[in-house]
A = this chain, B = another copy of it.
Amino acid sequence: MGETGASWPGQEPVLLRRIRLLSVIEALREAGPTPLTVLATQTGLSRPIIQSLADELVEMGWLSALTPEELGASGRTVGRPARRFRFHAEAGLVAGLDIGAHAVTGLVTDLDGAVRGRARLSISPATAPAERLDLAHAALTEACAAAGTEPTRLWQLGVASTGVIDHDGRVMLSVALPGWTGVDIAGTFAAKVGCPVIVENDGRAAALAEQWRGMGRGVEDMVYVHAGLRTGTGIIVGGRMLRGHSGAAGEIGALPAAGWAEAPMHLLHFPGIEPDARPEQIAEFVFSRARAGDEGALAATQRYIRALSGGIAALVLTFDPELVVVGGGISRSADLFLGQLVAELERVCVRMPKVVASPLDAEWVALGAVRVALDAVQQRYFSATAPDPLARPGQIPV
């Protein structure tokens, strides 16, 4: 072969060391607190090397050794228990912020996504942009306080908003909120917090939550439809979010033939809807009447689903997904319409995907914004391709 260990270029052992450090963190994040001997088996590394890697990671602040109390609760062996390590998820905190039409929601989580603080403030669709941004910051501050921190100490902020968002975190186009087009969300928050800010469309954020904690777990190809008064999408291709060349992917709702602009009219114009009702209240009202046997409400529901299914069929034919998830305000009434939606899709689709409703709650979009933040953190600290993965202790901005 003509090669020995001595011919390695100088930087390769450093890179190798980092990859090994990363693999220890990855194994611990997957398996939870684990003794070193098990880690050695999992990673295929020798016990002394694992020991040295773990010690270095503890010193860097990325791992904690379990306390005697923690060990006592889990260990059942007689005598001195084996040392166990766990990923130090509370080394940093991130936040997700959902700036919606009717509410702003903030969630603060640790690096494993465990929620440490939350806040939700009501708001009107008519609220001016500057006030909406201020209220969003207030919700963020409140969620941080509940987590025992403040916005300036976060590692990363993810923001979700209605509208087409460009790669710089600016609203390229919004038809749902007055004056929202052109608002520089990323710039506004970058000036208020001490960390990087990423802004994502709310439909895509909800789809990320679905992929992370909902029906989309383990699904490579998913079409997520966020159906409310505006219908949004989040499309996962090969496990990754489709964003497009300028961030405007997934806007099939802008096509008149898709039927999505017209769809909510069938619900909005139902007699008895209060003018300031929220989308989910409107849908709930019509659906509950339909469930009670009101023929007008049943017909309105059917017209709504027929209109919605046009755009969904276009997405199914285009992406051939494994799974379609219906989320947004209407998904809790899925029992009422899922059958009809499947029938409408079966009429035109070449191959039928599974069609299910999202198990979402009111924090789904904010949770997706947390996922955006955690993905950025993952990329920055835990990826072998990052410029400086696993920054040394002094650089961990705790």
| Interface residues in chain A, defined as those with a beta carbon under 8 Å from any beta carbon in chain B | 1-9, 13, 16-17, 44, 46, 48-49, 52, 164, 172-173, 220-221, 235, 237-238, 240, 242-259, 310, 313-315, 317-322, 348-351, 353
Chain B residues with CB under 8 Å of A2's CB are: 48-49, 52
Complex contacts, A245 vs chain B, CB 8 Å:
220-221, 320-322, 351, 353
Once the chains are docked, how many angstroms separate the CA of A255 from the CA of B255?
A: 14
Which residue of B3, B49, B172, B258 contacts A7 across the interface (Cβ within 8 Å)? B49
Check if B348 sits within 8 Å of A255, measured CB to CB: yes
- What are 14 A-B contacts with C-beta separation under 8 Å? A2-B49, A3-B13, A3-B16, A9-B44, A221-B244, A245-B321, A248-B350, A255-B314, A255-B317, A257-B257, A257-B259, A258-B314, A314-B314, A314-B318
The residue on B at minimum CB distance from A240 is B238
B246 A242 Cβ-Cβ under 8 A: no
Q: Which residues of B contact A353 (CB under 8 A)?
A: 245
Complex contact A252–B173 (CB within 8 A): no
Which chain B residue has the least Cβ–Cβ distance from A246? B351
Which B residues are CB-close (under 8 A) to A314? 252, 255, 257-258, 314, 318
Q: Answer whether A3 and B320 are a contact pair too, CB < 8 Å, given A9-B44, A242-B237, A351-B246.
A: no
**What CA separation (Å) do A316 and B8 show in the bound complex?**
49
B250 near A350 with CB under 8 A, answer: no
Residue of B nearest to A53 (CB): B2
Q: How far is the CA of A171 from the CA of B26 in the complex (A)?
A: 42
Query: In the complex, how many angstroms separate the beta carbon of A217 from the nearest chain B beta carbon?
Result: 16
CB contact under 8 A between A320 and B240, given known A46-B7, A349-B254? no
Given contacts A5-B5, A49-B3, A314-B314, contact A350 B173 (CB under 8 A): yes
Cβ distance A300 to chain B, nearest Cβ, rounded Å = 21
What is the bound-complex CA distance between A350 and B164, given in angstroms?
A: 8
Contacts known (A49-B3, A173-B350); A320 close to B17, Cβ less than 8 A: no
CB distance from A228 to the nearest CB of B (A): 19
User: When chains A and B are docked, how far (Å) is the Cα of A315 from the Cα of B235?
Assistant: 13
- Give the residues in chain B near A248, CB-CB below 8 Å: 317, 320, 350-351
Chain A to chain B: the 4 pairs with minimum beta-carbon distance, closest first: A5-B5, A244-B320, A248-B320, A257-B257
A9 and B320 CA atoms in complex are apart in Å by: 43
In the complex, what residues of B have CB within 8 A of residue A246's CB?
Answer: 320, 351
Residues of chain B within 8 A (CB-CB) of A235 are 318
Q: Which residues of B contact A256 (CB under 8 A)?
A: 348
Chain B residues near A255 (CB-CB < 8 A): 310, 313-314, 317, 348
Q: Are A5 and B3 neighbours in the complex by a CB distance under 8 Å?
A: no
How distant is the Cα of A242 from the Cα of B242 in the complex, in angstroms?
11
Task: Flag if B4 contacts A350 (CB, 8 Å).
Answer: no
**Most chain B CB inside 10 Å of its own CB: which residue of A13, A314, A348:** A314
Complex interface: chain B residues within 8 A of A48 (CB)? 2
Which chain B residue has the least Cβ–Cβ distance from A248?
B320
Query: Is there contact, CB below 8 Å, between A317 and B254?
Result: yes
Contact of A254 among B6, B164, B322, B348 (CB under 8 A): B348
Report A80 CB to chain B, min CB distance, Å. Answer: 24
With the chains together, A324 CA to B364 CA distance in Å? 34
Distance in Å from the Cβ of A96 to the closest Cβ of chain B? 24
* A243 (CB) vs chain B CBs: closest residue: B320
Shortest CB distance A161–B (Å): 15
- A251: contacting residue among B251, B254, B320, CB under 8 A: B320
Q: How far is the CA of A237 from the CA of B320 in the complex (A)?
A: 14
Measured CA separation A242–B223 after assembly (Å): 14
**Are A251 and B8 neighbours in the complex by a CB distance under 8 Å?**
no
CA distance in complex: A49, B9 (Å): 12
Q: Is the CB of B5 within 8 A of A319?
A: no
Closest to A347 in B: B256
